[in-house]
Amino acid sequence: MSTNAKKRKSLRERRKIQRRKLQIRAAAALLSLVAVTFLLIFHFTPQNTQADSEPKAPTYKYYTSIRVSSGDTLWDIAKEYRTEEYSDISSYIAEVREINHLSSNQITDGMYLCIPYYSEEYKS
């Protein structure tokens, strides 16, 4: 075998080894990524705990009437009366506006508003 043929064969073998090493590194990186993703999914997924399995006390929806004072806003009223049954303050304000037939967020001193709230206490 000539010297050039030996050099070509040696070069091909080195390239083959380099490709194999690259494939192994890529496979290791992919496996690491899958493992990290798996851990993140299961670490941040809420797990059922005993506290979650305890039944919550039933809540009942009630309404009360309040008198608007000077400087009050629907936002302030919502912060005071909104309970966890409402997803956010905006949904609570929307319900207050609907119940009271308000076309805007404007309320005035002396005005009476019907305000919804939830309670675990049953009132007959």
End-to-end CA distance of the chain: 104
- Residues 105, 74: contact at Cβ < 8 Å? yes
CB 107 within 8 A of CB 73: yes
The helix/strand/coil state of 16 is helix
Spatial CA neighbour of 63 closest among 95, 32, 90, 15: 95
pLDDT digits (tens, 9 = 90+) for 20-56: 999 999 888 888 888 888 777 877 656 555 555 678 8
Q: What is the pLDDT of residue 115?
A: 95
The reply to whether the predicted model has a pTM over 0.75 is no
Q: With both helix axes pointing from N to C terminus, report the angle between 89-99 and 74-81 in degrees, rounded to the nearest 10.
A: 110
